[in-house]
């Protein structure tokens, strides 16, 4: 019997994260089955109790490094993964981070002359600074001027929360809007299948009209996913 590969995530089935991962894998790795474990504790427990040695398991647990509870779960998880030869762990801050760091994000969600580029300049600046901080390994992002100016309550938020907040504020009122509960059609469908699109809704993809496969392939290539897939031994179609 041929072995199978599973991607285990903490996001619930109806949430934006699960929807994104399922659509991504459907397009790029269609043989991989995405399964929700409903939350991080249940995901860690599932890995701990895993007895199957025939199939492969790729684990995605949010690495919200300044959230103590998540950090403890990550430490436990790494220990369980090291005990098993058929389990690999992806190191990703959170699902929203993938889209926030996407190098073509601004050029996709806004047309070249979109007024949002000016109105949301502060959010765009906060995005650039927090990405620079995380990618350089400097985790003291709460001391950065542009981030403080953007979020007056920054000390009350962890990295996963601030990343999700920035992504929402950049994408709101567009076909790419992302919140914890939903993900815009323009991320998960071909251009232009956004049901609620108005005549004056124009994005950066207005003339390129990408297929859903092309979108997912570009997101894969222009984010941390390419490196993380390689580490996990995943091959893209």
pLDDT digits (tens, 9 = 90+) for 208-230: 889 999 999 999 999 999 999 99
In the sheet where 56-60 sits, what is the strand order? 33-36, 5-9, 56-60, 87-90
The reply to whether 205 and 222 lie within a common domain is: no
SS3 at position 223: coil
Q: Is residue 149 part of a domain?
A: yes
Check whether residue 226 and residue 207 sit in a common domain. Answer: no
Structure tokens at 81: 């993964």
115 pLDDT above the threshold of 70: yes
Number of structural domains found in the chain: 2
- Tokens 């058929």 appear where? 86
Name the average pLDDT for the chain: 94
Which value, in Å, is the radius of gyration of the alpha carbons in the chain?
Answer: 18
Q: How far apart are CA 108 and CA 126, in angstroms?
A: 18
Structure tokens at 54: 């025939």
Three-state secondary-structure class, residue 92 = coil
Element (H, E) at 6: strand 5-9
Q: What tens digit of pLDDT does each residue of 24-52 get?
A: 999 999 999 999 999 999 999 999 999 99
Q: Answer yes or no: do 102 and 88 share one domain.
A: no
Domain encompassing residue 77: 5-94+218-232
Taking only the tens place, the pLDDT of each residue in 137-174 is 888 999 999 999 999 999 999 999 999 999 999 999 99
CB 73 within 8 A of CB 168: no
Q: Over pLDDT 90: what percentage of the chain? A: 87
Which DSSP letter does residue 115 get?
T
Residue 135 in domain: yes
CA dihedral 35, 40, 45, 48 (to 10 degrees): 80
Whether 237 maps to a domain, the answer reads: no
């Amino acid at each position: 019997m041929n072995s199978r590969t599973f991607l285990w995530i903490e996001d619930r089935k109806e949430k934006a994260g699960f929807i994104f991962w399922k659509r991504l894998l459907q397009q790029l790795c269609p043989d991989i089955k995405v399964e929700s474990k409903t939350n991080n504790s249940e995901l860690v427990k599932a890995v701990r109790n895993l007895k199957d040695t025939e199939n492969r398991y790729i684990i995605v647990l949010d690495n919200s490094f300044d959230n103590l509870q998540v950090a403890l779960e990550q430490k436990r998880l790494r220990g369980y993964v090291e005990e098993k030869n058929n389990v690999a762990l992806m190191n990703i801050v959170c699902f929203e981070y993938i889209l926030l760091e996407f190098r073509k994000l601004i050029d996709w969600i806004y047309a070249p002359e979109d007024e949002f580029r000016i109105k949301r300049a502060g959010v765009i600046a906060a995005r650039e600074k927090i990405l620079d901080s995380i990618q350089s390994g400097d985790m003291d992002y709460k001391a950065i001027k542009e981030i403080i100016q953007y979020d007056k309550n920054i000390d009350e938020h962890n990295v996963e929360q601030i990343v999700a907040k920035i992504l929402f504020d950049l994408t709101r009122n567009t076909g790419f809007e992302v919140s914890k509960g939903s993900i815009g059609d323009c991320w998960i469908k071909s251009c232009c299948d956004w049901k609620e699109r108005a005549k004056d809704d124009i994005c950066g993809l207005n003339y390129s009209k990408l297929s859903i496969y092309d979108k997912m392939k570009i997101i894969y290539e222009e984010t941390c996913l390419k490196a993380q897939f390689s580490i996990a031994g995943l091959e893209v179609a």
